Amino acid sequence: MKKKYIWAIALSGVLMGSCTKLEPEFYREVTPETFFQSEKDVLAALNRPFTHASWYMGEDRWRLQEYTADNFAITTKGRHWYNGGENERYHYHRWTPDDGWIWGSWRGTLMGVALALDTKQDLEKLDYSKFALTQEDKDAHLNQLNTLAAYFYLRGLDYFGGMPIFTSLDQESLPRNTDQELFSHIEGILKEALTKLKKKQAGETEEGVLKQAAAASMLAQLYFNAEAYIGKPMYTEAQQLAQAIINGEYGTYTLDATWNGPHGFANDRSPEIIWSIPSQFNRLQYSWFYADFYHYNTREYFNTDMGANNGAHLTPSRKPDSTLYKADFQLGSPFETFDNTDLRKKPYKYLGNGGYEGMFLNGPHVSPAGAVIKGGEEYKDQPLVFRDQVARFSEVGPGKKYSSIAQLESKMSTGEENTGVRPVKVPIPPLSENTLRWGADNPVIRLAEIYYMLAECKWRAGDRAGAADLINSVRKRNFPGGVDPNPVTAANLDQDRFLDEWSIEFLGEGRRRTDLIRWKVFTSGRWWDHQPSGSAHLNRFPVPTEAISGNNNLTQNPGY
């Protein structure tokens, strides 16, 4: 029976407003058996679903994780960024089933599953010996695709709870499976993958291939958050897997010696990376965040030709009068949660030949070469000074709206063009070294996460000293000479410190909402300009209106 092969795939049922069927639009009709002529063709097909994963790991998915939590915000800046109140709805937890980021994430999840399933069905039919490939190669390829589908479903479970479980492209109008059914489906895929994926060997570079440790890490993540997903704590199971990964049972990995090793231009050689998505200038480039984070004129600081739209920034650590929010509530304040001697807290500076230091743009915006960057809105033609504060400081003074700083409000609607600290976790080279642009791969899973996961499991089991040792083994690389001025101890490692440590190490890596939910503070915690709703149903997003309108068998999540 012939199977139409999708080369340029467009999932019309997913993209065009319904989720009734994973139905591809065919651009050419050939059978897989005749299309594949070489190992290169096999690998090209295998890699296609991973290009979707590259897109999926940013944009709407990142926004749902970070702008709904305590570390990031898109404030209204004068005439810019109100966006019909969209940014405020997410910050205040007032989203609806009609919001675009939610629809994009539901659609993108099932699209990823469809791409993985389609490629798997094609590769299953091939005789790998014709391409000088082995049965072991075939098992690894098929289980990479299974594991990738499990990854998409794992994220879908996190965002929405139960989703329809597709096992082929021919199924139509499926109802949602239960949370437990989807959990078990993911678990089964990953357990099988552990026996058939290949292991990473010492010294092997990370090129985006899913190996045993990646599947083990996803399974650990599933168990780690099981209480939120299915109401059943499974920290013991997560601990066993995390320990096995650290022990090297699923491949050879070690912590990187430097904080920026997992994030820099050569991070494909970092021994810490368990799974990353390759990036290269104009080829699957990891760059979606650039326009959101940086000021219109920050291109002068980076000495690059790329423009930005000055939207996102860290939530403020300080009130308009410069006192700390940490005195009032523990969550948020991401910049001031870093110790002052932390190497990452330095201003970002490119040092040449791929080297750089620091991770933030804060304070006077003066380029490494000494050029003073000026504003274009509230501070037009004036030196830009980024503030770890949110307020209309430009409207204070004689004859202006406010007579003193004490009158200023700090909320989502009172930003300015210089509002907020800007992270630079992915290095930006100048034009003179433009061949490096977007050369840093996107680290999806790294060993530091496994250390922190194991630490939290130990902490929950009562081993606070063991948990502290694990966190300190990561923290020490962030300080000159490895001297940590504020190490974690059994005595100071409480819930607040743990949440701070997750925030510091994984700032901006698209996971904060999940961490807050696991610690049961996403709907009960307070942070800058955010009061707790107390509505636990907000731990899940609604099923989008567009999905339900295309499939009457889909049911809405409670509370929406």
Q: What is the pLDDT of residues 109-158, one digit of tens each?
A: 999 999 999 999 999 999 999 999 999 999 999 999 999 999 999 999 99
Residue 506 predicted with pLDDT over 90: yes
Residue 468 predicted with pLDDT over 70: yes
Residue 118, both tokens: 């389609």
In the block, residue with structure tokens 């990370």: 206
Percent of the chain topping pLDDT 90: 90
Residue 315 in contact with residue 526, Cβ under 8 Å? no
Q: What's the confidence (pLDDT) of residue 18?
A: 42
In the block, residue with structure tokens 């949440």: 499
Q: What's the confidence (pLDDT) of residue 35?
A: 77
Q: What's the confidence (pLDDT) of residue 24?
A: 45
Contacts 24+ apart (CB under 8 A), 55-59: 55/108, 56/108, 56/109, 56/112, 56/152, 56/155, 57/277, 57/442, 57/444, 57/510, 58/286, 58/288, 58/289, 58/442, 58/510, 59/104, 59/288
DSSP for 192-255 reads HHHHHSPPBPTTPPP-S---HHHHHHHHHHHHHTHHHHHS---HHHHHHHHHHHHTTTTB----
User: What pLDDT, in 10s, does the model give residues 5-39?
Assistant: 333 333 434 333 444 455 444 444 445 666 789 99
User: What pLDDT, in 10s, does the model give residues 399-441?
Assistant: 999 999 999 999 999 999 999 999 999 999 999 999 999 999 9
* CA atoms of 496 and 230, how far apart (whole Å): 25
Q: What's the confidence (pLDDT) of residue 280?
A: 86
Contacts 24+ apart (CB under 8 A), 224-233: 224/453, 224/456, 224/457, 224/518, 225/158, 225/514, 225/517, 225/518, 226/183, 227/518, 228/514, 228/517, 228/518, 228/539, 229/157, 229/158, 229/161, 229/179, 229/183, 230/179, 230/180, 230/183
Residue 39, both tokens: 């190992």
CA angle 479, 485, 486 (to 5 degrees): 110
Residue 176 predicted with pLDDT over 80: yes
Looking at per-residue confidence, does 20 or 106 come out higher? 106
Q: What's the confidence (pLDDT) of residue 98?
A: 97
Residue 47 predicted with pLDDT over 80: yes
Domains and their CATH numbers in the chain: 1-197+545-560 (1.25.40.390), 210-283+438-493 (1.25.40.10), 287-428 (no CATH)
Indicate the pTM of the whole model: 0.94
User: What pLDDT, in 10s, does the model give residues 262-304?
Assistant: 999 999 999 999 999 999 887 789 999 999 999 999 999 999 9
Residue 380 predicted with pLDDT over 70: yes
